[in-house]
Each structure stands twice: as C-alpha cells, then as structure tokens.
Chain A
Amino acid sequence: QQQVKQSPQSLIVQKGGISIINCAYENTAFDYFPWYQQFPGKGPALLIAIRPDVSEKKEGRFTISFNKSAKQFSLHIMDSQPGDSATYFCAASGVVTDKLIFGTGTRLQVFP
C-alpha cells in the first residue's frame, strides 16, 4: 500500500515533442504528489506538485494531471528540450509528514 508505481522506465523523445510519465498509487491517505527532476551528480529538485483537490496543474511547459478515482497522476512535458534530459521521479506523501514515497524513476532523453 505504500508503493508508488511509475512508468515507463525510460523514454526517448524528439526535441519539441511531448513527454508523458505516469504514476499510480494505492494508499488513499496520500494527499500530496510532487514530481522531482534529477540530473547526474545532483540531488533531486522539485519540479511541480499537486494536491488531490485539483485535477490539473500547469507551470510553464510542465503539467500534472491527477485522477483521484483511478489513483493515478501523470507528468506532461510540452515542447521537450535536450536540457530536459534527466531522471524524473514521482512521489507521494501523507498529512503532517515530510516522508516521501518515490516512484522508481523515468530516464528521459530528448534528442535534437
């Protein structure tokens, strides 16, 4: 019940294309869903986060779509750029805790 399942494991996209990464969870106590971006040799950095009271959140080229009934959420990267090449992690957290349960990660490669 504590797991967050993430797919795909790796993704290759052409510059200008749309990158889509999906996550699913089981624990209905989760109510905070952040996405982190990690470059080699660096720690993860928060990209965008959503709470289940909204179905979509957009920040620049990054959008989270959230389906509470299906217990699924996804990250869309529009107009993907080579600089977006990194590993992306979805995560989930409950109330009054900073403990994050991470997905397994998606390695995104954007080719020019």
Chain B
Amino acid sequence: KAGVTQTPRYLIKTRGQQVTLSCSPISGHRSVSWYQQTPGQGLQFLFEYFSETQRNKGNFPGRFSGRQFSNSRSEMNVSTLELGDSALYLCASSLALGRGQETQYFGPGTRLLVL
C-alpha cells in the first residue's frame, strides 16, 4: 500500500506570494492532519480534516487555510507569505474510525523556503 504522498517536495517562494500544498492520504484513510515543523518551534499542529470538515485547528493566523476533498485528498494554502513561514509542512493520515487517537502516518513533507 502506498504511503502518504505530498507534492511538491520542495518549493521556493517570495514574500507576499501564496502557495498551495497537496497531500494524498493512504488509501482508505479518512482523516488528514497538517503540521508545520521548524527548528525553533518544532512540530506544531495546523489543521485536522475528516469527511471534508475541519475538525480541529491550531493557533495559526488566518493566512493558513486548508480543505479536504471527497476522495480524502487535502490541500493547504498559505497566502501573503512571510519569511517565518519557511518550514517543513507535514501531512499525516489515519483511518479515523471515529475514536480519535488513531495511528497517524506522516508523509515526507514539503519543504517551503520563503525569500
């Protein structure tokens, strides 16, 4: 079974631009979560989606948004990029049997560099 895939793997943008990152979960997984990883702040939760609905949101500004499609694929968007948005963005999927606390499988991440 293929793992979580994320595209693109690397991205360079300039301040003020916007970016869209894509995540394809493991087949059959219904929940997708996004995390931002930086050397200074570590791994921080961005959003959690289940059945196309945002179930949870982290403490990030409104410039960060996301969505989930009917096939469970997910995208996240960052508008008006700032230098501090440079990070590794990780997507994770789980079976989401309704109990929470499912094993989450992470993708390799998209490394975003904002210049």
State whether the Cβ of A100 lies closer than 8 Å to any Cβ in chain B.
Answer: yes
Q: B33-75 toward A: CB 8 Å interface, digit per residue (1/0)?
A: 1010000001111001010000110100000000000000000
Interface residues on chain B, number (Cβ under 8 Å): 29
Q: Which residue in B43, B92, B100 is a CB contact (below 8 Å) of A97? A: B100
Interface residues on chain A, number (Cβ under 8 Å): 26
A43-B4, A44-B43, A105-B42 as given contacts; A98 in contact with B109, CB under 8 Å: no
Q: Which residue from chain B places its CB closest to the CB of A103 in the assembled complex?
A: B42
State whether the Cβ of B113 lies closer than 8 Å to any Cβ in chain A.
Answer: no
Q: Contact: A99 with B42, CB < 8 Å?
A: no
Q: Contact: B90 with A97, CB < 8 Å?
A: no
User: How many contacting A-B pairs (Cβ < 8 A)?
Assistant: 72
Q: Which DSSP category, helix, strand, loop or mixed, fits chain B's interface?
A: strand
25 A/B residue pairs, CB under 8 Å, sorted by A = A32-B100, A34-B103, A43-B4, A45-B106, A46-B104, A95-B99, A95-B100, A96-B99, A97-B48, A98-B50, A98-B56, A98-B100, A98-B104, A99-B33, A99-B45, A99-B48, A99-B58, A100-B33, A100-B35, A100-B104, A102-B35, A102-B42, A102-B43, A103-B42, A105-B42
Residues of B participating in the A interface, judged by any CB pair closer than 8 Å: 4, 31, 33, 35, 42-45, 48, 50, 55-56, 58, 90, 92, 94, 96, 98-109
Residues of A participating in the B interface, judged by any CB pair closer than 8 Å: 31-32, 34, 36, 41-46, 49, 51, 89, 93-105
